[in-house]
Structure 1
């Protein structure tokens, strides 16, 4: 549906040259929800605005639904943009127009008569849950309701692609969750391809199928959300993931943990479980199979969309050969196993 090839965007100003995007290439399939995450100034807003050519790339190619957007004339580009809807962080509603009239605005601009656009707009208001607000003005709406109007307006032209520019950043957590649920529902009902940029990893975690991590105008990592979450390759991705996955060591353990083996000490290991493995009796299996003691220090289970995943921090004590055999067993059953360090025997329990 969307292919970006060698995308570059350079700004020239009085303070010098700024490279906002450098050699960005990615492919987004029809019907995907594709997340692009990065810190402020990373280039993500520039990237999403290059898709509909609100920002024209300095170099590279943008292909949407088989059309090379960078090769179109201005008239052709205006027509092509009708198939690309966009919603914004600050809603951009017209204060003097009712909800109904705001949603109808792009259709009016296109010359559609009221009798015709009402037939299109009223079902959209029902889709976003605002049928009872059609005659209300934006000042009378909550932030979440305003964003629902923005979504309905973006859908008025029956686009094939919906671009979301920090669409939930101005909303509280509960409202954010409802808007993300709505976007997922729209994706399923309409088969719409959604490209969503954000600086919040929990947004990516909630609804995205694929994710691209951008840093300094370059893509540093791309892949399925589950893969990036569970096996991040870049420091930037790991930093974002820390915000939603609590892998922080208990303070009492951190104080006594050593990076090198401690004579007569115990091994501290973090296990990561994915999918069906979260229901397996792993600890019982270790104790049955090997002559070791296992102390559970901490653990948690969460869900990445419909897939459960969890972490477990454990302390292993016993003969070195038995502990190594236990680690080999954990790796053989496809558990992510990370040796955190070593503690003197009973030191953590005493702490």
Structure 2
């Protein structure tokens, strides 16, 4: 549906060139919710605005539904943009128009008949849950209601793609959740392809199928949401995930001397990762029963993405080193990820 190939964007200023995008390659499949996350200045807003050519790429091609957006004339681009809806962080509603008239505005510009406009707007008001607000003005609406109007307006021309530029950043957590639920419903009911940019990882977790992580104008990591959450590679990705999931070692272990190799009379600190069916397996009980070792759970976290369970445990293993080694092999046989944090001498506990 959307293919970005070698996208570059360079701005020229009095202080010199600003390289906002550096060779971006991205594929978004039809019907997918694709998230782009990055900190301020990463280039994500520039990237999404290149998709509908609100920003003209300095180099590269943007293909949307088989059409190269970068090669269109102004008239052709206006027609193409009718199939690419967009919603914004600050809503961008017309304050002098009612809710009904805001949604009707793009249809009026497109020359639709009055009855067609009425039918379309009434349908969209029902879709976004604002049928009772049709005659109110933006100043009379809450932030979440304003964004629902923005979504309805973006859907007026029956687009195939919906671009969301920090669409929930100005909203409180509960309103954000309701807007994300609405976007999921729209994606499911209308088979709409959605590209969403944000700096909030919980938004990515809640709604996206795929995610790309941006830093300094580059995509440094991308893939299915479950893979990125459970096996983050880049430091910035780990930082984002750390805002909603704690993978850190408990504080009282951070100052202990850790060895990567077994020590006499030591305990092993192990991070276990569970995905899918493995999350329901009694792995800890199995290790204790089979290998005659002691296992203490120091920290645990469980969550769900797209109805798939995943979680992390930090555990402490003590006992015969051969038995501990066999216990590690046992976790691998049950498709449980295991990461050796280190070995801690028993006498280190007395010093904490």
Which interval holds the TM-score relative to the shorter structure? over 0.9
Matching of residues 184-195 of structure 1 within 5 Å:
184-195=184-195
How far is 1:349 from its partner?
9.1
| Alpha-carbon displacement from aligned partner over 1:287-335 (angstroms, at most 9, x marks no partner) | 1211211111121211113111111111100111111111111122211
How far is 1:108 from its partner?
1.1
Structure 2 distance, partners of 1:306, 1:350, is 43
Matching of residues 165-244 of structure 1 within 5 Å:
165-244=165-244
| Alpha-carbon displacement from aligned partner over 1:193-243 (angstroms, at most 9, x marks no partner) | 000001111111111001111111111111101111111121221111111
SS in 2 for 1:256: coil
SS in 1 for 2:3: strand
How far is 1:342 from its partner?
2.6
Cross-structure match for 1:44: 44
| Alpha-carbon displacement from aligned partner over 1:263-304 (angstroms, at most 9, x marks no partner) | 411001010111111111101110121121111112121111
In the alignment, is the contact (CA less than 8 A) between 2:121 and 2:156 conserved in 1? yes
How far is 1:347 from its partner?
5.4
Structure 2 distance, partners of 1:257, 1:331, is 27
| Alpha-carbon displacement from aligned partner over 1:151-206 (angstroms, at most 9, x marks no partner) | 00000010000000000000111111110010000000000000000111111111
In the alignment, is the contact (CA less than 8 A) between 2:245 and 2:301 conserved in 1? no
Structure 2 distance, partners of 1:12, 1:113, is 44
What TM-score do you get using the length of structure 1 for normalisation?
0.97
Cross-structure match for 2:281: 280
Cross-structure match for 2:99: 99
Cross-structure match for 2:325: 324
SS in 2 for 1:56: coil
SS in 2 for 1:153: helix
How far is 1:114 from its partner?
2.7
How far is 1:246 from its partner?
1.3
**Mean Cα deviation higher: 69-78 or 104-113:** 104-113
Matching of residues 16-31 of structure 1 within 5 Å:
16-31=16-31
Cross-structure match for 2:55: 55
What TM-score do you get using the length of structure 2 for normalisation?
0.97
Structure 2 distance, partners of 1:182, 1:348, is 51
Cross-structure match for 2:119: 119
How far is 1:80 from its partner?
0.4
- Indicate the RMSD between aligned Cα atoms, in angstroms: 1.4
Structure 2 distance, partners of 1:257, 1:307, is 36
Structure 2 distance, partners of 1:168, 1:349, is 49
Residue ranges of structure 1 left out of the alignment (5+ in a row): none
SS in 2 for 1:326: helix
SS in 1 for 2:47: helix
How far is 1:42 from its partner?
0.5
Structure 2 distance, partners of 1:136, 1:275, is 47
Structure 2 distance, partners of 1:349, 1:227, is 39
Structure 2 distance, partners of 1:149, 1:256, is 55
**Mean Cα deviation higher: 257-266 or 40-49:** 257-266
| Alpha-carbon displacement from aligned partner over 1:124-161 (angstroms, at most 9, x marks no partner) | 01000101111111111111010000000000010000
Structure 1 distance, partners of 2:318, 2:26, is 47
CA pair 137-322 structure 1, distance change in 2 beyond 3 A:
same
Matching of residues 252-291 of structure 1 within 5 Å:
252-256=252-256, 258-260=258-260, 261-291=262-292
Number of residue-to-residue matches in the alignment:
351
In the alignment, is the contact (CA less than 8 A) between 1:252 and 1:348 conserved in 2? no
